[in-house]
Amino acid sequence: MTEIPPQTPAPRGAPSPILLVFLFIPLLGIVAAVALAISDGVVGGQPLATPQAVPSNFVSLVGDPAPDFVLAGMDGQQHRLSEYKGHVTFVNFWATWCVPCRIELPALMQVAGEQGTDGAQVLAVNVGESGAQIDAYFTENHISGLTVLLDSNVEVYSAFGINALPTTFVVDKDGVIRYRHFGMITLTDVQAYIDKLAT
């Protein structure tokens, strides 16, 4: 009769290989889900607030007529982009949860105040937030004087083919997109674009 040698027990504290497999599979799922969300430019249902990836159709809009749109403003009026022809117009996509957007708002507010109704125009297109959220943020941070438009259904954001905030399109007096600025825009940037399109 052959005697079966006793099995040597695994060293205390060493995880079982089967346990490692069961721990590894869910980890792969989490990594895959995060990678998919990032590739779609969305995390937690919100567009990424980072200028890391330029969508393929983003650049193609430069040199084309800007997609026309009508959006309700925080002023209670309807605003159509084509009505701003004759002015250099900055179409800035932003949200209150986006940190770079928050940083650039005072510069956009200053431009809007200095340019008035005769100069370059700033359309601050808020992506997916309510008027109440924006109003609360503006009150708390002393932001005023901007033409804020509500892209509640994210339709205009999609029409411009972008997937990250902040993003600014610079539209010339003829309604053609001449530049796009991916990421935070500064007062110096805005003035440079105005100077380029002054003629």
Q: Determine which of 4-8, 160-164, 171-175, 190-194 has the lowest per-residue pLDDT on average.
A: 4-8
pLDDT score, position 163: 83
In this predicted structure, the answer to whether residue 165 has a pLDDT above a threshold of 90 is: yes
pLDDT score, position 23: 55
The more confidently predicted of residues 113 and 58 is 113
Q: Tell me the per-residue pLDDT of 55-104, one tens digit each, with 9 for 90 and over.
A: 444 446 999 999 999 999 999 999 999 999 999 999 999 999 999 999 99
pLDDT score, position 36: 37
Neighbours of 41 (CB within 10 A): 17
In this predicted structure, the answer to whether residue 47 has a pLDDT above a threshold of 60 is: no
In this predicted structure, the answer to whether residue 136 has a pLDDT above a threshold of 70 is: yes
